């Protein structure tokens, strides 16, 4: 009931400074509420205005889209009328009609306008004869053998750009066929779903628009008989051309996306104008609408862009909010300073309290200034980003358009060459020179006839003939040209370097000569001039541009003198035929600075100055107030001290008050006054009921009167926990103890009051902590289950319920964790634990906790069975639960779902398999082909070609070694690398390693010499793996030794029965900063030298793993400038244990070979035709090679022929080569030797079962040929 406070005339120290009164807080809510209201109204108005503008732009875009579709429908309607009004329309008549329409100008987006004929099977022969006689002698229907209809493209103009579509049976593909039949059956135009046009070199989304032709013009669709139907007039569209520039706002302030169908499926995306989005940007406005377009459904999505927000977004709400909060802060600051006089000051000096208020003012205002700076700066950044994105987009569109225009012009030239095969040389040269003059970036043209004969050439005046002739006629480019001719599709080459250092690429435009394919127009473009020639000078001054291909820089132009602004680069793709280039645009720092203002910095500096001045003013006001009230408080302090000394008894912490028999308060101690917030004058003489809330207040007089009459006690002499009420009306819990006493014959009651608010809060905190623990159990992804000692579940969290499918009430107190465990795994685990713990373990709950009882924890993988019967792998960790006496009370199971981890492991295994087969096999073919060229064919090649072939072959070898290293790392990490450790004599192994690596060292001008090798040293090693380690050490030593240097190899006996192998080089030594990382993955020393000398940085890491697995140690010693010595230590093996493979009982591989009397014949079972071709060339004249690309083919050949040797791959799409091995073992007749040649390594067991087993990427083509000849020879 009463707060024990100060005596009369004394205020609580610092009370007013520590909190604002309720009235002051309520007053401050007024400006805060007004600020929020003004901000909300302004924000809603701004958003509404922006929404209206966005809706207007979206509606404009929709109308433009529907209008364009309608105009193109009219164009097809005119073509339909043309066919219906004529008995027959020839190819030339249709060409003239389309030329009259001028579709390139009047109907942008249409790539071709043509006719599709609907044919019966018995009409095809006559149709072909008619078309060929009309002037298309090479007309063919393709693809062959289409079931379900013959809907053949008869005309498509312009024919040159649509050649691949001429003769196409559109029934080959479901979307085209569906649209054609829909238009035919309804008599209305129809468009296809999203397709890829066969003539679109860039393979972007498109569609067809088809209009049915009926000769008799029936009155209704139902009257349209099949005999009246005469095919379709159709138009081909590339979506991005059709949708481009529907409105001026498209791509700038509004983005347009169109999907085929009703859902936002990325696979159904037809068009996306998104070119200005920054990463992570989310559109402010969006509108979705389903449109019915020519009997198809389109989902159209309009979204606002950064440019839209930059143009229409208002800063008014922001400034209203900032201004209102600032006014509210200053008002609160004024009220707080005004209340200082009521605060208690116990010192002459202001101290830290006088600094708290100014510090708060400074922090709040400074924070506001920083926030304003950030808002203004972000606004400027968004503006500049939008500006740069807009300019970049225009540049990219310009380059793409110019490039496409140049390619189109050259296609027209090839079309003229096709039309006039006997074009005079002078006319061709004049045409070529005109193109060289007009088309910027064009360096050279060449007319190449059938068979690769160079018929005509032309080059710019600055070019030398040999610069680009080599580029066109080199083998890789020739192969690309032949591929373009074969597919009749223009193609572009990868970037090439001309002999003058200029980056360029070649395009090949195939055409027919006198109706025969094989000719093409080869064109060389300069990358630099092609990309830079059409950009304005002022734009080049503002930006730096970098052209890349596959992330490799090819050309850089623009302002190269000025520094560029980091973090502002924008990458845009540029499609040139079938190759995708990238142009990176980066603004220069001067250009960026010219578009940034000083407004954000000025706002920040001004804000900090205002904050500082406000803090100083607040401090001075505070100190003045404190000094003014100091004298008054000094007098009050003296009086309070006197009262305190005279009321020592009243200084107890609990409140103590007395009342008379009428319930009137006669006295109260300071603690009681503080507890209730009253002064002594306000309480003495008042009824105690004023300190009681309802219902205690209304019942108090009755309780007291009843006690005085009957002596029945409710509170007096007992004590209770009740509620009391402070002066401010707040209710709080108290412990009340009331005792009766007599003083001078007067009955008084003494009440002792203790505030229990903290105890109540503590109890609430305990409840909240319990709730928090429950929430943690509910929110964790891990399955958590707790059991009692008998195994009954007592805790079953949400994750366990959701994953296992049981409700908690179905298992808690009823089941044990055995419920969801695989029974057979429980049995197997019990058997394993019984052996491990040497104790009988019963399958069941005891299996799950027996190891926990033994060592405290059990971690194991299990298969859990959900309630629905499905299974999932989990990692289960079991520990015991303990009470305060450290006694075990139960068990805790924490289970983690391993489904995702298992999937990752599976994906990793698939990746390794892909690397094994899909990289090793083609590399073997490439390496074999290059080996043949550099061997038997090298004399027929020019010197430059030989040089390039050698470069390719060397890099192929490097790539092969890298793939082997990567696979070795994976095998080591997964524990799959096999080691056949035996006792071996060390000297022969080292001499073999030196002999194997001498050719490599000789190429570098380095010699390898054995110095001191003890002949009696024996070690326990896998000789193949030791050879791999020595190859790494010797090749590294040779690479890093100077030309003319020497690598020394030695082996000697060390202390403690160990053998040390040392490899010493005469290089520059190892930098100290690199030594700690030398055995790490991909670790390389000096980057520049490493690029020169080659290497992946994996060799030493793999060597260390191999040496560790064989029980050895590896290290090095080096002094900078004096070379390095790498050493490998192994334990010394006993001399009497050295045996060869035969003596130790290991069977040697058996050839199982029965020679035939005729010439040797080899069956190569391999799905890589290139590798089979290379082996055939290598064995030509020695062994006849028959190829079986599938296992089924191999079985057929074996049934009909006899072979001297089978060379077998293991991995096939239809199955495994091991199936064929089993078939061979079951065959009757003489056995045939088998040599496995696969991308994967074979186990020792497999290696012993066949004549030989080789890994494609680990042996050269010469080794493969030599092994085949050895096996055939018997």
With CA atoms as reference, report the closest residue to 1210 among 1179, 1183, 1176, 1249.
1249
One domain, residues 695 and 826: no
One domain, residues 767 and 801: yes
Task: Determine the average pLDDT of the residues in 1119-1123.
Answer: 83
DSSP 7-29: PTT-PPTTHHHHS--HHHHHHHH
| Residue 176 contacts residue 208 (beta carbons within 8 Å) | yes
pLDDT confidence of residue 234: 94
Which of 310, 329, 359 represents a domain boundary (last residue)?
310
How does pLDDT run across 14-33, given as a tens digit for each residue?
Answer: 444 444 456 666 666 787 77
pLDDT confidence of residue 207: 92
The answer to whether residue 358 sits within a structural domain is no
| Least confident piece of the model among 9-23, 321-335, 553-567, 695-709 | 9-23
With CA atoms as reference, report the closest residue to 178 among 260, 264, 76.
260
The answer to whether residue 491 sits within a structural domain is yes
Strand 982-985 relative to strand 1018-1021, pairing: antiparallel
- 657 by Cβ neighbours in 10 Å (0-12 / 13-18 / 19+) ranks as buried
Which sign, positive or negative, has the C-alpha torsion 243, 245, 249, 253?
positive
One domain, residues 809 and 864: yes
With CA atoms as reference, report the closest residue to 130 among 90, 169, 81.
90
One domain, residues 863 and 776: yes
Residue span of the structural domain in which 133 resides: 87-243
One domain, residues 723 and 778: no
Pick the more confident residue, 1141 or 1135.
1135
Q: What CATH number does the domain containing 734 carry?
A: 3.30.450.20
| Residue 517 contacts residue 508 (beta carbons within 8 Å) | no
| Omega within 30 of 0 (cis) for the link into 695 | yes
Q: What value does the CA radius of gyration of the chain take, rounded to a whole number of Å?
A: 46
One domain, residues 1097 and 1187: no
Cα–Cα dist 530/403, whole Å: 7
How does pLDDT run across 348-372, given as a tens digit for each residue?
Answer: 455 565 666 677 777 777 777 787 7
Pick the more confident residue, 1091 or 109.
109
Which of 1104, 1137, 1170 represents a domain boundary (last residue)?
1137
The answer to whether residue 376 sits within a structural domain is no
With cut-offs at 50, 70 and 90, classify the pLDDT of residue 441.
confident
The answer to whether residue 580 sits within a structural domain is no
Q: What CATH number does the domain containing 1257 carry?
A: 3.40.50.2300
Quote the percentage of the chain above a pLDDT of 70.
Answer: 81
How does pLDDT run across 1206-1245, given as a tens digit for each residue?
Answer: 999 888 878 888 888 888 887 767 788 999 988 777 877 8
User: Could you report how far apart the first and last alpha carbons of the chain are, in Å?
Assistant: 114
Cα–Cα dist 942/955, whole Å: 20
| Residue 236 contacts residue 162 (beta carbons within 8 Å) | yes
pLDDT confidence of residue 630: 67
The answer to whether residue 870 sits within a structural domain is yes
Per-residue pLDDT at 1050 exceeds 90: yes
Task: Determine the average pLDDT of the residues in 920-938.
Answer: 70
Cα–Cα dist 565/553, whole Å: 19
With cut-offs at 50, 70 and 90, classify the pLDDT of residue 462.
low
Cα–Cα dist 988/760, whole Å: 86
The answer to whether residue 427 sits within a structural domain is yes
Pick the more confident residue, 1052 or 1147.
1052
One domain, residues 1112 and 1132: yes
How does pLDDT run across 835-892, given as a tens digit for each residue?
Answer: 888 888 889 999 999 989 888 889 889 999 999 999 999 999 999 998 888 899 999 9
State how many domains the chain has. 7
Strands (DSSP E) contained in 143-214 are 150-157, 190-191, 195-196, 205-214
How does pLDDT run across 592-633, given as a tens digit for each residue?
Answer: 887 777 777 777 787 777 777 777 776 776 666 666 666 566
Cα separations in angstroms, 663 against 224, 637, 671, 742, 990: 108, 33, 20, 15, 111
Per-residue pLDDT at 230 exceeds 70: yes
Cα–Cα dist 151/210, whole Å: 12
| Least confident piece of the model among 115-129, 484-498, 1133-1147 | 1133-1147
Task: Spell out the SS3 assignment of 709-776.
Answer: HHCCCCCECCCEEEEEECCCCCEEEEEEEEEEEEECCEEEEEEEEEECHHHHHHHHHHHHHHHHHHHH
How does pLDDT run across 186-215, given as a tens digit for each residue?
Answer: 989 999 999 999 888 778 899 999 999 987
For residue 213, give every residue at least 6 positions away whose Cβ sits within 8 Å of its Cβ, in sequence order, or none: 80, 83, 84, 115, 229, 230, 231, 232, 233
One domain, residues 95 and 235: yes
The answer to whether residue 433 sits within a structural domain is yes
How does pLDDT run across 719-745, given as a tens digit for each residue?
Answer: 777 888 888 888 888 888 888 877 777
The answer to whether residue 424 sits within a structural domain is yes
pLDDT confidence of residue 277: 44
One domain, residues 1222 and 1093: no
- Angle, alpha carbons 1133-1137-1142 (nearest 5°): 130
With CA atoms as reference, report the closest residue to 511 among 430, 415, 425.
415
Which of 195, 210, 243 represents a domain boundary (last residue)?
243
Task: Determine the average pLDDT of the residues in 305-329.
Answer: 71
Is residue 391 within a helix (H) or strand (E), and if so which, with residue range? helix 353-419
- 1093 by Cβ neighbours in 10 Å (0-12 / 13-18 / 19+) ranks as middle
How does pLDDT run across 145-172, given as a tens digit for each residue?
Answer: 888 889 999 999 888 778 888 999 999 9
One domain, residues 261 and 234: no
Reported as half-sphere exposure (CB side, CA atoms, 13 A), residue 470 has a value of 17
To the nearest whole number, what is the mean pLDDT of the chain?
A: 79
Q: Which of the 8 DSSP states describes residue 1110?
A: T
How does pLDDT run across 26-85, given as a tens digit for each residue?
Answer: 666 787 778 778 778 777 777 777 787 888 888 888 888 888 888 888 878 888 888 887
- Angle, alpha carbons 731-736-738 (nearest 5°): 140
One domain, residues 149 and 173: yes
Identify the top-confidence range among 395-399, 826-830, 1092-1096.
826-830
pLDDT confidence of residue 1154: 37
Q: What CATH number does the domain containing 172 carry?
A: 3.30.450.350
With cut-offs at 50, 70 and 90, classify the pLDDT of residue 2.
very low
Backbone angles phi, psi at 292, to 5 degrees: -90, 110
pLDDT confidence of residue 21: 54
Cα–Cα dist 1274/1269, whole Å: 9
With cut-offs at 50, 70 and 90, classify the pLDDT of residue 217.
low
Pick the more confident residue, 1084 or 667.
667
Q: What CATH number does the domain containing 1042 carry?
A: 3.30.565.10
Backbone angles phi, psi at 14, to 5 degrees: 65, 5
| Residue 298 contacts residue 268 (beta carbons within 8 Å) | no
Cα separations in angstroms, 860 against 852, 878, 897, 903: 12, 9, 12, 19
With cut-offs at 50, 70 and 90, classify the pLDDT of residue 134.
confident
| Residue 368 contacts residue 322 (beta carbons within 8 Å) | yes
Per-residue pLDDT at 498 exceeds 80: no
Q: How many residues does the chain have?
A: 1274
One domain, residues 107 and 177: yes
């Amino acid at each position: 009931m009463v707060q024990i406070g100060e005596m009369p005339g004394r205020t609580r120290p610092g009370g007013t400074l520590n909190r604002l009164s309720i009235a002051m807080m309520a007053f401050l809510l007024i400006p805060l509420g007004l600020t929020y209201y003004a901000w909300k109204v302004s924000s809603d108005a701004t958003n509404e205005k922006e929404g209206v503008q966005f809706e207007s732009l979206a509606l404009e875009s929709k109308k433009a889209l529907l209008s364009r579709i309608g105009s193109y429908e009219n164009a097809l309607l005119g073509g339909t009328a043309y066919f219906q009004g004529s008995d027959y329309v020839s190819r030339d008549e249709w060409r003239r009609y389309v030329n009259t329409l001028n579709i390139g100008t009047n109907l942008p987006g249409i790539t071709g306008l043509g006719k599709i004929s609907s044919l019966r099977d018995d009409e095809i022969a006559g149709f072909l004869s008619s078309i060929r006689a009309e002037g298309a002698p090479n007309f063919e229907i393709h693809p062959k053998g289409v079931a379900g209809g013959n809907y053949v493209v008869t005309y498509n103009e312009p024919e040159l750009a649509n050649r691949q579509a001429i003769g196409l049976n559109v029934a080959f593909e479901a979307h085209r066929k569906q649209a054609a039949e829909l238009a035919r059956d309804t008599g209305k135009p129809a468009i296809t779903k999203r397709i890829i046009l066969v003539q679109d070199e860039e393979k972007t989304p498109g569609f067809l628009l088809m209009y049915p032709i009926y000769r008799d013009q029936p009155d209704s669709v139902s009257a349209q008989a099949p005999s009246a139907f005469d095919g379709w007039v159709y138009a081909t569209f590339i979506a991005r051309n059709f949708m481009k520039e529907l409105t001026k706002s498209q791509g700038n302030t509004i983005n347009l996306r169109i999907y085929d169908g009703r859902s936002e499926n990325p696979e159904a995306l037809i068009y996306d104008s998104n070119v200005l989005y920054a990463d992570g940007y989310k559109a402010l406005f969006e509108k979705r609408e389903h449109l019915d377009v020519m009997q198809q459904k389109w989902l159209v999505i309009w979204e606002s862009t950064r440019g839209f927000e930059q143009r229409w977004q208002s800063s008014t709400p922001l400034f209203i909010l900032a201004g209102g909060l600032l006014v509210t802060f200053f008002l609160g600051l004024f009220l707080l300073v005004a209340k200082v006089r009521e605060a208690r000051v116990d010192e002459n000096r202001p101290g830290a309290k006088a600094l708290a208020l100014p510090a708060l003012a400074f922090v709040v205002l400074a924070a506001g200034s920083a926030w304003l700076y950030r808002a203004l700066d972000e606004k400027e950044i968004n503006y500049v980003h939008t500006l740069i994105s807009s300019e970049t987009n225009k540049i990219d569109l310009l380059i793409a358009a110019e490039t496409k225009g140049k390619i189109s012009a050259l296609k027209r030239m090839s079309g003229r060459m096709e039309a006039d095969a006997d074009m005079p040389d002078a006319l061709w040269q004049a045409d070529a020179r005109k193109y060289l003059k007009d088309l910027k970036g064009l360096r050279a043209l060449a007319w190449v006839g059938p068979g690769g004969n160079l018929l005509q050439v032309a080059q710019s005046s600055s070019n030398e003939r040999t610069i680009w002739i080599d580029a066109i006629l080199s083998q890789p480019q020739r192969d690309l040209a032949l591929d373009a001719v074969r597919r009749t599709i223009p193609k572009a080459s990868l970037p090439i370097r001309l002999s003058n250092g200029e980056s360029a690429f070649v395009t090949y435009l195939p055409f027919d000569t006198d109706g025969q394919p094989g000719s093409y127009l080869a064109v060389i473009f300069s990358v630099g001039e092609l990309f830079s020639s059409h950009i304005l000078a002022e734009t080049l001054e503002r930006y730096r541009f970098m052209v890349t291909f596959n992330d490799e820089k090819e050309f850089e132009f623009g302002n190269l003198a000025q520094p560029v602004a980091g973090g502002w680069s924008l990458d845009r793709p540029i499609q040139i035929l079938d190759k995708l280039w990238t142009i990176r645009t980066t603004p220069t720092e001067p250009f960026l600075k010219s578009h940034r203002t000083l407004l954000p910095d000025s706002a920040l500096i001004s804000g900090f100055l205002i904050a500082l001045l406000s803090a100083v003013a607040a401090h001075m006001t505070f100190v003045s107030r404190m000094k003014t009230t100091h004298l008054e408080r000094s007098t009050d302090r003296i009086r309070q001290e006197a009262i305190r000394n005279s009321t020592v008894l009243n200084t107890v912490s609990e409140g103590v008050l007395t009342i008379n028999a009428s319930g009137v308060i006669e006295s109260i101690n300071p603690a009681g006054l503080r507890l209730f917030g009253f002064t002594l004058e306000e309480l003495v003489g008042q009824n105690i009921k004023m300190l009681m809330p309802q219902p205690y207040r209304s019942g108090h007089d009755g309780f007291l009167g009843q006690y005085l009459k009957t002596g029945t006690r409710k509170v007096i002499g007992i004590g209770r926990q009740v509620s009391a009420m402070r002066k401010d009306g707040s209710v709080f819990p108290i412990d009340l103890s009331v005792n009766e006493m007599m003083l001078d014959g007067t009955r008084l009651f003494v009440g002792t009051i203790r505030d229990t608010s903290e105890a109540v809060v503590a109890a609430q905190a305990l409840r909240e902590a319990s709730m928090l623990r429950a929430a943690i159990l509910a929110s964790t992804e891990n399955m958590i289950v707790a059991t009692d000692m008998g195994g009954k579940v007592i805790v079953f969290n949400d994750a366990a319920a959701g994953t296992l499918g049981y409700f908690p009430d179905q298992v808690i107190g009823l089941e044990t964790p055995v419920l969801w465990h695989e029974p057979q795994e429980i049995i197997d685990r019990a058997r394993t634990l019984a052996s491990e713990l040497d104790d009988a373990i019963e399958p069941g709950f005891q299996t799950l906790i027996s190891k926990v009882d033994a060592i405290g924890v059990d971690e194991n993988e299990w298969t859990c069975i959900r309630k629905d019967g499905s299974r999932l792998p989990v990692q289960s960790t079991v520990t015991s639960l303990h009470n305060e006496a450290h006694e075990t009370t139960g068990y805790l199971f924490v289970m983690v779902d391993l489904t995702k981890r298992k999937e990752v492991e599976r994906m990793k295994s698939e990746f390794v398999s892909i690397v094994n087969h899909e990289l090793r096999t083609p590399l073997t073919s490439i390496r074999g082909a290059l080996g043949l060229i550099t061997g038997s064919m090298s004399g027929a090649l020019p010197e430059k070609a030989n040089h390039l072939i050698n470069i390719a072959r060397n890099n192929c070898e490097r790539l092969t070694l890298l793939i082997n290293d990567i696979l070795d790392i994976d095998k080591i990490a997964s524990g799959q690398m096999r080691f056949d450790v035996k006792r071996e004599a060390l000297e022969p192994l080292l001499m073999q390693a030196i002999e194997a690596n001498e050719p490599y060292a000789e190429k570098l001008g380095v010699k390898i010499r054995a110095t001191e090798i003890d002949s009696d040293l024996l070690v326990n090693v896998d000789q193949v793996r030791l050879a791999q380690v020595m190859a790494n050490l010797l090749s590294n030593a040779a690479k890093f030794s100077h030309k003319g240097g020497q690598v020394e190899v030695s082996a000697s006996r060390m202390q403690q029965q160990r053998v040390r192998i040392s490899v010493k080089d005469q290089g520059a030594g190892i930098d100290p900063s690199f030594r700690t990382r030398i055995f790490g993955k991909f670790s390389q020393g000096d980057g520049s030298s490493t690029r020169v000398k080659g290497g992946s940085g994996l060799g030493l890491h793999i060597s260390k793993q191999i040496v560790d697995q064989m029980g050895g140690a590896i290290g090095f010693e080096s002094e900078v400038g004096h070379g390095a010595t790498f050493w490998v230590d192994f334990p010394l093996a006993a001399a009497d244990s050295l045996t060869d493979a035969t003596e130790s009982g290991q069977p040697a591989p058996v050839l199982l070979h029965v020679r035939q009397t005729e010439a040797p014949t080899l069956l190569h079972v391999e799905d890589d035709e290139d590798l089979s071709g290379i082996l055939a060339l290598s064995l030509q004249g020695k062994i006849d090679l028959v190829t079986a690309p599938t296992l089924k083919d191999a079985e057929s050949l074996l049934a009909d022929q006899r072979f001297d040797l089978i060379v077998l791959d293991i991995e096939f799409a239809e199955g495994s080569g091991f199936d064929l091995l089993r078939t061979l073992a079951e065959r009757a007749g003489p056995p045939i030797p088998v040599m496995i040649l696969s991308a994967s390594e074979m186990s020792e067991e497999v290696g012993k079962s066949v004549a030989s087993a080789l890994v494609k990427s680990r042996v050269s083509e010469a080794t493969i040929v030599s092994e085949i000849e050895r096996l055939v020879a018997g």
